[in-house]
Chains A and B, each alone.
Chain A
């Protein structure tokens, strides 16, 4: 008499190398790594002052992600396509208290012109802040004064990544492989991250708001799914740690961070540190479909192909 050593439906669960469609956010670790990477890139970035400020902002984010008050978890409709899209749940104004905590954290350590900006920001009426948040989340970035957008987005991101981290990866339906926006919150990706583990070489897109990552097939455009005219641009033929994937069909590009080649790469920091590449790709007629939460520039919105 034979007996099964494993139930048939459990076989796939045993598979460590199976593609996970979604990697749930780990905010504290993400922010700590980002802050460290910003610090190490600052000197050669060409934007040293800005990188130093970002380092402080992201450190404050890491602290809030660990210790912040987030209130009761909101009710989420996990059957919705993007359960954390800003129209799909009551996100309230807990993010505003996080913003005030960030400001309090930053005030003693930033230069005086930025202290002035932070004081103005914390003095804004609640309704105005809520409107700014609504604008940023609806990608009306130009509706928000540029000196505030960085801090507002940082606070929103801490709140969103906190809620996103509570989601069971299996509870959300991720359209298999084929999503150009975050399946959790519907935001744009920052760039592509190539993983070293558990299956080396898989590409994940990193969300610019909730810090989740979702799987996307390689050698296919992350914007239009075409695969007939994909080019990689890099400084080395093989084992480049950073390259750009361009699509000749929709003329968009996304940066690829090969963390299997250089594990220190951090998607947001390294995207900003290679801002130069954006200029070169624009000269070649390609535009970015990605959003960097530490830049939030107007230009990317203008060239948005959707």
Chain B
């Protein structure tokens, strides 16, 4: 914006702004006020998914305006309006933006075979097949169908399941149904780490 535009802005239709009407428009000798270089960020309200408290967050992201560009989150803060956390965050919550942008995030399934120290990338199909195979073998070998009194209990105590905490009610319901119907007793979410 140049001086002429600033002049126009102050006059605001020339007849009605008090600045112009009182004859106090900036003179030629006066330096133009500085220009603002504004960065644009999208502001989104969300919840922290890393524990069962569910603190409110305000998340700030920007993108390169490219067609396929993903929003890049660069700042996360507590949501003051949220009745639970009232703007505050715990150390885990305060580090959220670093989780999101961590170079160590898991992006695909990997396996470390017994006896090696090397992580090997595998496909999702392979991963599902291996997990299913391990679960089946372990459950067939170790499922406790009846207790000492002969009552049917169907407990599978040799395996546990760590579930996601970043899911809605419906996801939690399905996860629970799936795990309990297998006889799993040890179920937890990453929210309690």
Residues of B within 8 A of A175 (CB): none
Chain A contact residues, majority secondary structure: mixed
Choice from A50, A229, A276 contacting B19 with Cβ under 8 Å? A50
A279–B1 CB distance below 8 A: yes
B1–A298 CB distance below 8 A: no
CB-nearest residue of chain A to B9: A279
A295–B42 CB distance below 8 A: no
**B35 sits at the interface (CB 8 A):** yes
Interface string of B9-20 (1 = CB under 8 A from A): 110110111111
**A236 sits at the interface (CB 8 A):** yes
A147–B18 CB distance below 8 A: yes
Residues of A within 8 A of B78 (CB): 201
**B41 sits at the interface (CB 8 A):** yes
Looking at the assembled complex, report how far the CB atom of A248 sits from the nearest CB atom of chain B, in whole angstroms: 9
A279–B6 CB distance below 8 A: yes
A237–B36 CB distance below 8 A: no
Residues of B within 8 A of A117 (CB): 22
Choice from B16, B33, B79 contacting A297 with Cβ under 8 Å? B16
List A residues 284-298 near B (Cβ within 8 Å): 294-298
A201–B80 CB distance below 8 A: yes
List A residues 111-160 near B (Cβ within 8 Å): 113-114, 117, 141-142, 145-147, 149-150
List B residues 44-75 near A (Cβ within 8 Å): 44-45, 58, 60, 74-75
Choice from B6, B13, B30 contacting A276 with Cβ under 8 Å? B6
Residues of B within 8 A of A224 (CB): none
B81–A146 CB distance below 8 A: no
Tell which of A40-48, A94-102, A261-269 binds the partner: A40-48
B36–A280 CB distance below 8 A: yes
B1–A230 CB distance below 8 A: no
CB-nearest residue of chain B to A49: B24
B26–A219 CB distance below 8 A: no
B18–A46 CB distance below 8 A: no
Count of B residues near A, CB < 8 Å? 45
Q: How large is the interface on A (under 10, 10 to 19, 20 to 34, 35 or more residues)?
A: 35 or more
Contact surface of A with B, Cβ cutoff 8 Å: 17, 19, 44-50, 53, 113-114, 117, 141-142, 145-147, 149-150, 177, 199-203, 217-219, 227, 229-238, 244-245, 274-280, 283, 294-300, 302
**B145 sits at the interface (CB 8 A):** no
B39–A233 CB distance below 8 A: yes
B60–A298 CB distance below 8 A: no
A219–B21 CB distance below 8 A: no
Choice from A47, A49, A238, A297 contacting B12 with Cβ under 8 Å? A297
Looking at the assembled complex, report how far the CB atom of B10 sits from the nearest CB atom of chain A, in whole angstroms: 7
CB-nearest residue of chain B to A282: B9
Residues of A within 8 A of B172 (CB): none
Looking at the assembled complex, report how far the CB atom of A148 sits from the nearest CB atom of chain B, in whole angstroms: 8
A218–B58 CB distance below 8 A: yes
Residues of A within 8 A of B79 (CB): 201, 218-219
Residues of B within 8 A of A145 (CB): 21
**B31 sits at the interface (CB 8 A):** yes
Interface pairs (24), CB distance under 8 Å: A47-B24, A50-B19, A50-B22, A50-B24, A53-B24, A114-B22, A149-B18, A202-B87, A217-B81, A232-B41, A233-B38, A233-B39, A233-B40, A233-B41, A237-B74, A275-B6, A277-B36, A278-B9, A295-B18, A296-B16, A297-B16, A298-B12, A300-B12, A302-B13
**B86 sits at the interface (CB 8 A):** yes
CB-nearest residue of chain A to B15: A146
Question: Within the assembled complex, what's the spacing in Å between the Cα atoms of A200 and B85?
Answer: 12
A19–B19 CB distance below 8 A: no
